[in-house]
Amino acid sequence: MTRFPLRRTNAGRRMRRAGALKSAFTPAAGFFGRFRRQSFAYPYVLWLALFVVIPIILIAVYAFTGADGGFTPGNFSGMMDYAPVFGRSLWLAFLATVICIIIGYPAALAISRMRPRSQRILIVLLMLPMWINFLLRTYAWMSLLENTGLINRLLASLGVFDLINALHAGTPGYAPITHFRLINTDGAVVLGMVYNYLPFMILPIQSVIVKIDPSVIEAAQDLGADSRLVFRKVILPLSLSGVISGVTMVFVPAVSTFVISKLLSNGTVMLLGDLIEMQFTGAAYNPHLGSAISLIMMIIVVICMSVMSRFGEGREQAVRL
């Protein structure tokens, strides 16, 4: 009779021993589980270190050193000679961003009010030109804007130039025109920016507007708000995050582009991207000055993104009827 309690006691001891071993291995299992989950991020961290962090460090080192490898702040003082290039780049990027907002927001609003099938079709049509190489799209605009391009030939066939010449026939010193100067201008560069970056404005705005709860708009209408008031007090504040994303996605590449300005202005409109390329690959080879300009441009972009993110804070509190 006394064996049964001993057996139960031994069984209880074995169970307690097994529980202790399990609890001892639980932290180790948790550690290896976390390690296994975090290991998926290691390739991304390696990629980020190789192609983002290390290049930025190299740019900073080159920016603060001279040709002899010694420390010098002279690279930054020499940038004052290129202040007009900075101003022109910021101004043209600002113009392109504003035009993209003016065109993109109504387009995004119109797309978001369509049926889901129509929305998908229009979004595919909007993204279709982006499947073509960036250079090919820019070269296409060159063939359109040239002096003998499609636009000028179309205007000539419609008799526009003959009409203008006939109106100014008696004007002293007037030289007859055969074409409009569309290429190699600031307008051509802005046009190229708008064409290439407009989808980056429409898509984030449309994705935000389509997620707005219709009941919020219906509640505003039930409270007596007309369509303009609903847009100004409800739709616009709630879609501000999409506008900010679009502004960032348009302004950042526009301020640093060099392909568009190089092809559509033939080098007559120099932007920051052209200036940096000239310092690294041009005849005026100076990677230290180019690195300093790149560093300042990165700081400008970060400041602009920080300012835009501040505008997005508290957007939900802006909905007041």
Residue 202 to residue 278: CA distance in whole angstroms: 33
**Lowest-pLDDT range of 9-18, 83-92, 153-162:** 9-18
Q: Does position 316 have pLDDT exceeding 80, yes or no?
A: no
pTM of the predicted protein model: 0.81
Say which residue, 5 or 142, is predicted with more confidence: 142
Report the mean per-residue pLDDT for the chain.
Answer: 84
**Cβ neighbours of residue 60 closer than 8 Å, sequence gap 6 or more:** 291, 295
Please, are residues 233 and 220 in contact by the beta-carbon 8 Å criterion? yes
Contacts 24+ apart (CB under 8 A), 126-129: 126/199, 126/202, 126/203, 127/199, 127/203, 129/199
Predicted confidence at residue 171, as pLDDT, reads: 83
Residue 174 has what DSSP assignment? Answer: P
The CATH number that domain 82-146+182-318 falls under is 1.10.3720.10
Question: Phi-psi category of 212—alpha, beta or left, where left has phi over 0 and alpha has psi -120 to 50?
Answer: beta
The confidence band for 96, taking pLDDT boundaries of 50, 70 and 90, is very high
Please, are residues 305 and 245 in contact by the beta-carbon 8 Å criterion? no
* Residues pairing with 65 in the sheet: 71
Predicted confidence at residue 205, as pLDDT, reads: 95
The confidence band for 217, taking pLDDT boundaries of 50, 70 and 90, is confident
Please, are residues 257 and 96 in contact by the beta-carbon 8 Å criterion? no
Please, are residues 157 and 179 in contact by the beta-carbon 8 Å criterion? no
Give pLDDT tens digits for 118-177: 999 999 999 998 888 888 999 999 999 999 999 999 999 999 999 998 888 878 888 888
Residue 52 has what DSSP assignment? Answer: I
Domain edges within the chain? 82-146+182-318
Residue 279 to residue 274: CA distance in whole angstroms: 9
Predicted confidence at residue 2, as pLDDT, reads: 47
Q: For residue 52, what are its two tokens?
A: 């983002």
The confidence band for 305, taking pLDDT boundaries of 50, 70 and 90, is confident
Predicted confidence at residue 7, as pLDDT, reads: 47
Residue 73 to residue 183: CA distance in whole angstroms: 39
Q: Does position 302 have pLDDT exceeding 80, yes or no?
A: yes
Say which residue, 58 or 26, is predicted with more confidence: 58
The confidence band for 17, taking pLDDT boundaries of 50, 70 and 90, is low
65 backbone dihedrals φ, ψ, rounded to 5° = -125, 160
Q: Which amino acid is at 223?
A: L
Please, are residues 161 and 177 in contact by the beta-carbon 8 Å criterion? yes
Residue 310 to residue 304: CA distance in whole angstroms: 10
**Lowest-pLDDT range of 16-25, 94-103, 278-287:** 16-25
Give pLDDT tens digits for 181-214: 999 999 999 999 999 999 999 999 999 999 998 8
User: Average pLDDT in the 202-230 region?
Assistant: 90
